[in-house]
Amino acid sequence: MKVAFTGGGTGGHVYPNVPIIEAMRSRGYECIYIGQAASLEEQVMSKHGIQFRSIATTKLRRSFDYRNLFIPFLVISGFITSFSHLRDAQVKILFSKGGYVAVPVVLAAYILGIPVVIHESDRSPGLTTQISMRFAKVICTTLPARFLLGPLKGHKNVVHAGIPIRNIFFNIQEIQDPHLKNITRLNPYILIFGGSQGSRALNQLAEELAQIFADSYTVIRIAGKQKNALSPDLPKSNLHTLGIVQDDMAALIQGASHIVCRSGMTTLVEMAALGKRPILVPLPTAASRGDQLENAALVEELGDISVVHEGTNFATRIKEAINKELSLKDKVPKPLFGEVTIPFREETITNILIEHLGE
């Protein structure tokens, strides 16, 4: 039997699919992935030997952009192509992790009578989830029902399933990249990253923190797709810039003295799995729908996590947050999610998929 997966745009919509696919394949199911060509999802799935089929799609830009005018045509095109992929592969169930690529795939599966299971990472549903949940047999959520907001709150099809994270976060190996291994071995380091898309604000912050902590820390920034737009690191500088990091990510996080990052839910759960307490810089509403602000507010309450917003004296306020964490060094700090249990494994979702196969 074939199981289809979809989701894309950012790492949070892609990486959680991997452990589910591996679990389904270990049980004898054939898996395919439907996503955007030349994308992160294609790169990740190809690396894991997962059959990938592409569709045309684009994201909704929240400010005025002429490219938004093409969205209806691309959704129709993506729907037609998804319909063909699902029908030709004789798919029996679809799992959607969300992101803009998922909408035409979910619609095509529903028209074909294929059961749909979706996953929402955040407290409130994004636009893709708001559309997809109308066609879904099950809506898996990261958080227990009492923390959900908006249309998810009280929905009869919601199941608390946690969020699957990659095996690299359970079986941490030594850093493999020789250059990265050398950087992390020399001094304690501050790790700064803004997700696979990168972040201009965090990239600039890294440069300022490298100066502030010149005598005490190495600063490693993961710039994602923005690396090529940045100036090369200076020789003998304590600032080191990386692009997209995959296999070494867990080891890099584990070894960091301090972490500054966005507050996407997948990132938060990965941090919790490693017992880390990052300093969070949520995406502002000008660049998002506010989901990261909701996530950050939750762990700030549950785990007493430092949340710092972009703006005036940004680097100074991050320094103060680092000093706060240093003051907790000899104490037992709260876990990231406090006493709330967030499943990290894929069993719940895998069992849901098997239960609804071919309904």
Cβ-contact 221, 239 below 8 angstroms: yes
The confidence score (pLDDT) of residue 142 equals 98
What does the block give as tokens for 316?
Answer: 């100074």
Residue 216 clears pLDDT 90, i.e. is over it: yes
Mean pLDDT of the chain: 94
Q: Would the pLDDT of 107 be above 90?
A: yes
- Taking the C-alpha atoms of residue 184 and residue 190, their distance in angstroms, rounded to an integer, is 10
Tens of pLDDT along 225-243?
Answer: 888 879 889 888 999 999 9
How far apart are the C-alpha atoms of 114 and 94, rounded to whole Å?
Answer: 7
Q: Which two tokens stand for residue 227?
A: 């690396």
Fold: same for 2-164+344-356 and 169-327: yes
Asked whether the CA dihedral 138, 139, 144, 147 is positive or negative, the reply is negative
Residue 198 pLDDT greater than 70, yes or no: no
Question: What is the percentage of the chain residues whose pLDDT exceeds 70?
Answer: 98
- Whether the pLDDT of residue 250 is over 70: the answer is yes
Beta bridge mates, 140: 119, 159
Reported as a single tens digit per residue, the pLDDT across 109-125 is 999 999 999 999 999 99
pLDDT interval class at 135 (50, 70, 90): very high
SS3 190: strand
Q: Are 257 and 228 in contact (CB under 8 A)?
A: no
Q: What pLDDT is attached to residue 358?
A: 74
Q: How far apart are CA 79 and CA 71, in angstroms?
A: 12
Q: How far apart are CA 5 and CA 284, in angstroms?
A: 30
Rounded alpha-carbon distances, angstroms, from residue 162 to 45, 344, 349? 22, 6, 9
Looking at residue 157, its amino acid is N
What are the residues whose beta carbons fall under 8 Å from the beta carbon of 43, sequence distance 6 or more?
Answer: none
Structural contact between residues 216 and 226, judged by C-beta atoms closer than 8 angstroms: no
In angstroms, rounded to a whole number, what is the distance separating the alpha carbons of residues 316 and 331?
A: 24
Residue 294 contacts residue 129 (beta carbons within 8 Å): no
Radius of gyration of the chain (CA): 20
Concatenated DSSP letters of 205-218: HHHHHHHHTTTT-E
Q: Domains of the chain: which residue ranges? A: 2-164+344-356, 169-327
Distance CA 12, CA 139 (A): 17
Host H or E run for residue 320: helix 314-327
Strand partners, 218: 189
CATH number belonging to the domain at 169-327, selected among 3.40.30.10, 3.40.50.2000, 3.30.1490.100, 3.30.2130.30: 3.40.50.2000
Give the amino acid at 114.
Answer: I
DSSP string covering 246-298 = -TTHHHHHHH-SEEEE---HHHHHHHHHTT--PEE-PPPTTTSSSHHHHHHHH
Q: pLDDT digit string (tens) for 308-357?
A: 999 999 999 999 999 999 988 777 788 999 999 999 999 999 999 999 99
Q: What is the CATH number of domain 2-164+344-356?
A: 3.40.50.2000
Phi, psi of 342 (to 5 degrees): -120, 110
- Which of 70, 97, 71 lies closest to 8, judged by CA? 97
pLDDT at 196: 67
